[in-house]
Structure 1
């Protein structure tokens, strides 16, 4: 693990452990502050995650350590010297820190994509689904709409589900009856309960669920067949989602590899756009 980033090492440490919701919250907070975690006390980590100090101790034991001090020693041993930038965050104003935080999220995503297997599998699942439902509510609705906009240029039947309510299950039913085999979900904090319920229902109806979420420990993990994480930025009043957006485009690219006549569809759209005068040249 020595050649990977602090966040990647933490993700590997958590893999294979059945964590409670509180423990997933601690894990998520640790990943978000991966460079600082080896130097935090149990009280500081508890405050960061919004949990009690005993919860942090139980979390360390759940990972196989005698307690939090043992976990922290382990993290310090595997953290390369100089991994924390000289000068710290104090060298930048809050706006710069937000941008630098997103750059770090994109670095983590790049490391995740070193193994293209999950992306390629997701691309095949999405390309094969006719129609293709795209779910995203509240904070994730813009991600779903953006994915759906571009996917519709190459996929014959894309159905964006960006509004909740009593009709959501009906629309999932309609997609399944029309032949859908998979659903892609964008799930960002704060996670609506309705999204978790909808994904559980989609799986009950036989759909394979592919999720893009802010963490491998997000609430949608329990009702996803394939989850690919991309962290959100938390440095501003409202979360930023550069990495989830880019991951959506990567999935579109992988989906195109599984669709026939993609180039012909794109050229046909361009021809019609010129004829209709859609864009200012």
Structure 2
């Protein structure tokens, strides 16, 4: 298990039934894990977009007397952590909103790198994906692009990839058909705002006996309770529409881990390159 600040926080939250507001606080604490031990309850409330009493109730829900006790616990967990003023890049007001969005995504990628310090969850997910025949890849609405991108590349090395990027009454039928064909795993990309249809599809998939691996924006996303293995990649929220660099990169990391579990992956890629050259598919 990784000893990163984010991993330690997630371990602290495990086993607690949190309200949607409390999940939002937990999500933002994980995103700013290195800074949280030095934030006041008011600062954390502003960061998460909740009230200060909500932060206090959240701390009590975790078993602490109040937020000061929680913050002391976090400081004791990471005594060498640096305060936010020393860690954050200097901002003198010269960054415009587009630059700020880029810097926020860089922070999301740094957080992802911290999580990947423990490669075991991704490696386990890769092994699961490699063994499923067929392999289902689900992504609706905002997450459809992530699912399509993964399925496009996965099909180059995996013998049977089935993309589920359209909702409706046929979705459950396609899941059932894949199970009859031998599928054992469904990979889901889930991004906010989370469609109810995705939650329903995952519940159906698990009831049909599938193992669900999910790439989501947070370990506390609504899809978490329907996932056997959840890999978080935070999204940026500074622009009118969310940015998803971390989930996209996490999808590519999963592809790499899946290739490691497919002994003929390299041969398939080389075969594709030969055929692509013969057909003149690409302009070099």
**TM value normalised by structure 1:** 0.90
TM superposition shift of 1:268:
1.1
Unaligned ranges ≥5, structure 1: none
| 1:271 maps onto 2:274 in alignment | yes
Q: What CA RMSD, in Å, does the superposition of the two structures yield over aligned residues?
A: 2.3
Contact 2:31 2:111 in 1 (8 A): no
Unaligned ranges ≥5, structure 2: none
Q: Which has the higher mean CA deviation after the structures are superposed, 62-71 or 130-139?
A: 62-71
| 1:224 maps onto 2:222 in alignment | no
Residue 237 of structure 1 corresponds to which residue in structure 2?
A: 240
TM superposition shift of 1:209:
0.2
Contact 1:191 1:219 in 2 (8 A): yes
Q: Deviations over 1:201-246 (max 9, x none)?
A: 0000000000001111111110000001111111211111111111
Contact 1:164 1:194 in 2 (8 A): yes
**Alpha-carbon separation, structure 1, partners of 2:118 and 2:36:** 26
Residue 246 of structure 1 corresponds to which residue in structure 2?
A: 249
| 1:103 maps onto 2:102 in alignment | no
**Alpha-carbon separation, structure 2, partners of 1:107 and 1:220:** 24
TM superposition shift of 1:150:
0.1
- The match for 2:136 among 130, 133, 142 is 133
Taking a change above 3 Å as real, the CA distance of residues 65 and 154 of structure 1, as seen in their structure-2 partners, is: same
Contact 1:200 1:223 in 2 (8 A): yes
Residue 67 of structure 1 corresponds to which residue in structure 2?
A: 66
**Alpha-carbon separation, structure 1, partners of 2:204 and 2:232:** 22
**Alpha-carbon separation, structure 2, partners of 1:51 and 1:114:** 31
**Alpha-carbon separation, structure 2, partners of 1:19 and 1:219:** 11
Contact 1:169 1:198 in 2 (8 A): yes
Taking a change above 3 Å as real, the CA distance of residues 89 and 122 of structure 1, as seen in their structure-2 partners, is: farther
TM superposition shift of 1:22:
2.4
Number of residue pairs matched?
279
**Alpha-carbon separation, structure 2, partners of 1:9 and 1:69:** 18
Contact 2:154 2:255 in 1 (8 A): yes
TM superposition shift of 1:61:
0.5
Q: Deviations over 1:29-82 (max 9, x none)?
A: 333344664565545544543444433221110122211233344456644245
Residue 22 of structure 2 corresponds to which residue in structure 1?
A: 23
**Alpha-carbon separation, structure 1, partners of 2:199 and 2:190:** 9
Residue 183 of structure 1 corresponds to which residue in structure 2?
A: 186
**TM value normalised by structure 2:** 0.89
Q: Which has the higher mean CA deviation after the structures are superposed, 80-89 or 208-217?
A: 80-89
- Secondary structure at the aligned position of 1:90 is classed as coil
Residue 118 of structure 2 corresponds to which residue in structure 1?
A: 115
- Secondary structure at the aligned position of 2:87 is classed as coil
Taking a change above 3 Å as real, the CA distance of residues 83 and 220 of structure 1, as seen in their structure-2 partners, is: farther
**Alpha-carbon separation, structure 1, partners of 2:91 and 2:13:** 27
**Alpha-carbon separation, structure 1, partners of 2:106 and 2:28:** 18
TM superposition shift of 1:131:
0.4
